[in-house]
Amino acid sequence: GMLLATGAFMPKDKMAKKQHHLLPYQLLGIFAGVLMATQTAINGHLGVILKSSLHAAMISFTVGAVLLIIIVLILPVQISNLKLAYQDFSKQWWLWIGGFLGAIYVLGCAWLVPQIGTGQVIVLVLFGQLFFSAIIDNWGLLHSKVNPINLMRILGLITMFIGVVVLHFI
């Protein structure tokens, strides 16, 4: 059997079945990473062409917003569910800043790509994501599932940091 974080044992065949069940989601996660790297490179080059990272980010968000509006209008989703975002606004105001953070991220990447290259931007962004996601998960911040930091995550972050240093200075 395999020792889980909870201390329970799980037979190998059950573990393999669980991992096989997650495979489509893991592949979608990899695809999302491909899209992010591609978007970063495109927005960086668009910023060079426009001589403005701000305009590149604006175009990126405008096209994305138009696409999402079209998808919402086409798919059978309950538009009335949008009112749920207003409930308990005073307690969960921070739910509304995701777009703001995304805009700053896209703008920052569009500006950084011509400065240091797509590869370094992605590696640095990935390191920042992994580092802060470990902090968010460890304490369950922003109503996320608690996933305590363990030795393997710390070693992974250290390895990633060494990779960033090697890519930047060598």
Contact 106, 43 (CB under 8 A): yes
pLDDT of residue 78: 79
Q: How far apart are CA 54 and CA 149, in angstroms?
A: 36
Q: How far apart are CA 109 and CA 119, in angstroms?
A: 11
Eight-state DSSP code of residue 8: -
Q: How far apart are CA 50 and CA 48, in angstroms?
A: 6
Q: What is the pTM of this model?
A: 0.76
Find, among 31, 35, 37, the residue nearest to 118 by Cα: 37
Phi, psi of 38 (to 5 degrees): -65, -45
Any bridge partners for residue 9, and if so which? 3
pLDDT of residue 120: 86
Q: How far apart are CA 98 and CA 114, in angstroms?
A: 25
pLDDT of residue 4: 43
Phi, psi of 77 (to 5 degrees): -110, 150
pLDDT of residue 2: 41
Reading the chain (170 residues) residue by residue, the pLDDT tens digits are: 444 444 445 556 665 666 678 899 999 999 998 999 999 999 999 999 999 999 999 999 999 999 999 998 899 887 777 788 878 777 888 888 999 999 999 999 999 999 999 988 988 898 889 889 999 999 999 989 999 999 998 998 899 888 877 876 76
pLDDT of residue 11: 58
